[in-house]
Chains A and B, each alone.
Chain A
Amino acid sequence: MLLQEATAGAHPLSGSIAEWVWLIPLLPFIGFLINGWLAMTAASHVGPKDPSAAGHGAGHAHDHGHADSGGGHGDDHHPVARHKYAALVSIIGPTVLVLSFGLTVAIFMAMLGVDREAPFIRTLFSWIPAGELEIDAALQVDPLSMVMTLVVTGVGTLIHLFSVGYMRDDPGYPRYFAYLNLFVSFMLVLVLGASYPVMFVGWEGVGLCSYLLIGFWFSDKANADAGKKAFIVNRIGDFGFLIAMFLMFGNLGALDFVGLAAAAPGLGFNSALVTTICLFLFLGCAGKSAQIPLYVWLPDAMAGPTPVSALIHAATMVTAGVYLIARSAFLFSLAPAAQLTVAFIGALTALFAATIGLKQWDIKRVLAYSTVSQLGYMFVGVGVGAYTAGVFHLVTHAFFKALLFLGSGSVIFAMHRAYHATHNHDDAQDMRNMGGLRRYMPVTFVLMWIATLAIAGIPLFAGFFSKDEILTSVFARAHESTLAQISWLGIPGTTLLYAIYAMGLAAALLTAIYMTRMMLYTFHGPNRSGEREQSHLAEAPWIMTGPLVVLGVLSAFGGWLNLPPVLPLGPVQLLEHWLEPVVGPATAAVTGGAAHLEHNTEYMLIGVAVVIAIVGMAVAFARLKPQRLVPKAQAPDEQGFERVLREKYFVDELYDRTIVRPTVWASRNVLSTGVDQGIIDKLLVTWVGAGIPRLFGWFGSRLQSGQVGTYAWVLLIGVIAVLGAFTFR
């Protein structure tokens, strides 16, 4: 303790409000306890026993009105049994987030004025003191963790507010907010942890909350299965994270970021060991952040409530992998082979998921594949050592993807309400049943177009700057960097980086196409929801559109966080300078201090990106005719490659055949009947486990004569033996 206080004493933030950083994750946790308690005390009194009597989609609780809503058909607001603590939960759930956000902003303000070279470590207590292993429960305040904390609490607050409107009629309302608060709490532990084990606690915690929220309407088996799938696929990644931690502790003797950063250069540049550690870390990232080959859980995770998809499966949790790599920059800068792997897998995922997004009909699945694709972009960024670009895209993506998801939630909410009013059981999430919604939901329509322009990379919107910075960085690295000089699986680094750049451009083109497609089919053309339903379509209440407006502003102007130096729009590279103390050395190690690209080259790259985005949108406008679309029920099946895309390249089926079924078969026939019943039961239990003790037992029982005299002799001999042993020792 004394040592820690001495270290902290030297830091300019000690004694400031940053000492209270532990309250940031604690506040949502208190919210979780209160909401969870309310959920448990009221569970038996409220609503139907089966929370999913409603089936799939949003606004489930509306369905409970069915039985007693006889005369209310023309009315959107059926008499529903709202949870009796709904009002209290609506206050507690978002308030704890607002308080956390306020505290984060205060700490951020305190950081602005001081020297930020060294991270501020707030040690709470010694968590695992075990011999050489000394792990403190400590939080780290530095520029990178502050950026993440601001995003998590800021976007989290908006999504909590949106949820108040979206989930208010659900019988599981307090349970929902309990899980959501718990998620934010763990996410904050993840981003604030000062060592890998503390981070891992948050990492596993968000996985748990993800599982709970995907299966929130768990009585529908498909939802529960989706939750399980997410959890199990993530286990594979967590295994990698654990192995990486073991290797780090075994070879470097530390697990906190400060200690590791000091010891890491001892591993040697491009050594097999550091590459192994980085690849295992990346396996963890691939699980959490849905990269090839572990991306399959994320599209299924859309089974959860839509605000959950926005918060967990778009804005925050799935970006944890990107954060982990940025946080481990000191390791990755030593392992160029691992960096190229990260960048290549990222580019491959970006392109692969974008193609699937082209043919999805479920509005949330389009966004899910879009998220996988954009996460791939972020990994390209952090993979080529452009950590700022990766984190920048993480931030802007949090803005526009949260907006897109919440907007789609607003659409689904309206569709579901309309279908409910007319007792229609069509799919409220299928775009073929939508169309022309701009007339009914103008606010959502405008805001979602802003987000679409941002994600497509139209100039001056947030996504344009972040995506362009990633692509420019890749191009610059191919030109001159340590990555370009090594060869990766026999491919020269330069060639690979140019290939990654080309894949990034192709993914950008596809992004523009599938996002425009989604907007065209949802908001343009004629309405396909049905004659009677149209009169029930309406904009969502203000508690839902309000957060959308804030996110819309952020999606439009988020690019100003990190303007490129070549464009005269304002103060340049704010985020770059802010993150410099954390990732600056690692970036410099990759670039080798090389000069920036020539301005003409940069202008050309920006021009290419803009042309790609505009061409993509133009193609979509020219080729896709929402007028010709028919509702889902009448739609013909796709043929050929379109079918392959709609079926997601049959990857789930491939995994089922090659991994799941052989595993089940081997478990049943080899492990169960062979190993368990044959070897363990017969050989080990019957022979070794029962036979040998019986033999010893027989031998031992011969010694028991029952004669007290014999025992007395044995006692005497024993005493003499012990005394003799002590005397003649």
Chain B
Amino acid sequence: MLAESLALSAVLFTIGAVGVLTRRNAIIIFMCVELMLNAVNLSFVALSKVYGMAGQVFVVFVMTVAAAEAAVGLAIIIAIFRHKQTVNLENINLLKG
């Protein structure tokens, strides 16, 4: 079971990472980030079978943080949309040097 779980986790993580790197829509990138977090959660849970309960405790923490992050992140995206009328990141480059 462990090997399969970790493989699934790796696949999910890679999908998430590729999504973050290639997509331009902020919402989708946001969802990909969540995907990466949950991929990590999966490996935590899987590995807790081997290393003890600490992994499961961590998962609870990660989910809590992810929930908070979702709230803040979505709020930011809404604020950006109100300001720019778009959530396409190619049009958002305020930090350009």
Q: Point out residues on A near B: beta carbons under 8 Å.
A: 700-709, 712-713, 716
Contact = CB atoms under 8 A, between A and B. Distances in A.
Interface in B73-92: 89-90, 92
A712 B20 CA distance: 8
Given A716-B17, A716-B21, A707 B93 contact: yes
5 contacts: A707-B93, A708-B29, A709-B90, A712-B21, A716-B17
B89 A707 contact: yes
Contacts of A716: 17, 21
A709 B24 contact: yes
Secondary structure class of chain A's binding surface, majority of residues: helix
A721 to B, nearest CB: 15
Nearest to B93: A706
B21 A704 contact: no
A708 B21 contact: no
A709 B17 contact: no
Interface in B42-68: none
A704 B92 contact: no
B94 interface: yes
Given A709-B24, A716-B17, A704 B90 contact: no
A705 B95 CA distance: 7
Contacts of B29: 708
B92 A700 contact: no
B77 to A, nearest CB: 12
Contact of B96 (A704, A709, A712, A713): A704
B21 A713 contact: yes
Nearest to A707: B93
B89 A708 contact: yes
A704 B95 CA distance: 7
Contacts of A704: 95-97
B24 A702 contact: no
Max chain A Cβ within 10 angstroms of own Cβ: one of B20, B24, B29? B20
Contacts of A700: 97
Contact of A703 (B24, B92, B97): B97
A706 B21 contact: no
A701 B89 contact: no
Contacts of A707: 89-90, 93
A706 B94 CA distance: 6
Contacts of B93: 705-707
B88 to A, nearest CB: 11
B79 to A, nearest CB: 15
A727 to B, nearest CB: 16
Nearest to B95: A706
A712 to B, nearest CB: 6
Interface in B12-54: 17, 20-21, 24, 29
Contacts of B96: 704-706
Contact of B97 (A702, A709, A712, A713): A702
Given A700-B97, A709-B21, A709-B24, 14 more contacts: A703-B97, A705-B93, A705-B96, A705-B97, A706-B92, A706-B94, A706-B97, A707-B90, A708-B29, A708-B92, A709-B89, A709-B90, A712-B20, A716-B17
Nearest to A711: B95
A627 B94 CA distance: 98
A223 B47 CA distance: 83
B89 to A, nearest CB: 5
Max chain B Cβ within 10 angstroms of own Cβ: one of A700, A708, A713? A708
A708 B80 CA distance: 14
B32 to A, nearest CB: 10
A377 to B, nearest CB: 76
Nearest to B20: A712
A507 B92 CA distance: 93
A705 B29 CA distance: 19
A709 B21 CA distance: 6
Contacts of B89: 707-709
A241 to B, nearest CB: 55
A713 B18 CA distance: 10
A495 to B, nearest CB: 81
Contacts of A708: 29, 89, 92
A707 B97 CA distance: 11
A716 B92 CA distance: 21
A671 B29 CA distance: 62
A719 to B, nearest CB: 10
A704 B94 CA distance: 10
Max chain A Cβ within 10 angstroms of own Cβ: one of B89, B92, B93, B97? B97
B9 to A, nearest CB: 17
A706 B17 CA distance: 20
Nearest to A697: B97
Nearest to A701: B97
Contacts of B97: 700-706
A62 B20 CA distance: 89
A99 B84 CA distance: 83
A143 to B, nearest CB: 70
Contacts of B94: 706
Nearest to B17: A716
Listed from nearest, the 8 A-B pairs whose CB atoms lie closest are A706-B93, A704-B97, A701-B97, A706-B96, A706-B95, A708-B89, A712-B21, A712-B20
Contacts of A701: 97
Nearest to B23: A709
Contacts of A706: 92-97
A702 B20 CA distance: 23
A708 B88 CA distance: 11
A551 to B, nearest CB: 80
A473 B20 CA distance: 95
Contacts of A709: 21, 24, 89-90
B3 to A, nearest CB: 20
A704 B24 CA distance: 18
A716 to B, nearest CB: 7
A435 to B, nearest CB: 88
Contacts of A703: 97
B95 to A, nearest CB: 4
A148 to B, nearest CB: 69
A708 B17 CA distance: 14
A712 B95 CA distance: 14
B26 to A, nearest CB: 8
A358 B8 CA distance: 106
Nearest to B89: A708
Contacts of A713: 21
A282 B97 CA distance: 63
A630 to B, nearest CB: 87
A318 B17 CA distance: 79
A648 B95 CA distance: 75
B41 to A, nearest CB: 19
Nearest to B24: A709
A713 B22 CA distance: 9
Contacts of B24: 709
A705 B20 CA distance: 17
A703 B95 CA distance: 11
A707 B17 CA distance: 17
A435 B7 CA distance: 113
A119 to B, nearest CB: 62
A632 B93 CA distance: 89
Nearest to B29: A708
Contacts of B20: 712
B25 to A, nearest CB: 11
A713 B90 CA distance: 14
